[in-house]
Amino acid sequence: MKLWPAEADDPTVGGFIAEFDSGIMKSIAWRSQAPIVPAIDAAKQYVSELLQCLIDERHMREVEGTNWASATAAVQKIIMDWNEKTRMRLRGNESEAIEQATRRARLRH
């Protein structure tokens, strides 16, 4: 299985795409204003959802042929990278808000 982050125009949306050797592709997405912590718990949840989807659709070759521990670690890394981008965006918003407040305060004096 190959995993890679899913791209979204909305910075509050994250996710990943899973592609199996058989050509089957699945995606999982989330929406959050803040970093997702703990990332390992979220990774376990999302990988469990992916696994359940494959079971429900009877893709047993993919279920049995996937190293789910490695998949969970890879999803955790995707979440941690998304968390870092989210933290940087939030810090940028805080800095911008402080600058705007400072400019407004200067205009009043």
Rounded to two decimals, what is the model's pTM? Answer: 0.85
Over pLDDT 70: what percentage of the chain? 85
| Distance (Å, whole) CA 61 – CA 57 | 11
| Distance (Å, whole) CA 13 – CA 46 | 14
pLDDT band at 67 (very low <50, low <70, confident <90, very high): very high
- pLDDT tens-place string over residues 16-50: 999 999 999 999 999 999 999 999 999 999 999 99
- pLDDT tens-place string over residues 86-103: 999 888 877 765 666 566
Q: How far is CA 77 from CA 5, 39, 49, 83, in A?
A: 10, 8, 17, 10
With residue 80 as reference, give the H or E element that holds it. helix 68-108
pLDDT at residue number 109: 53
Q: What are phi and psi of 25, to 5 degrees?
A: -125, 140
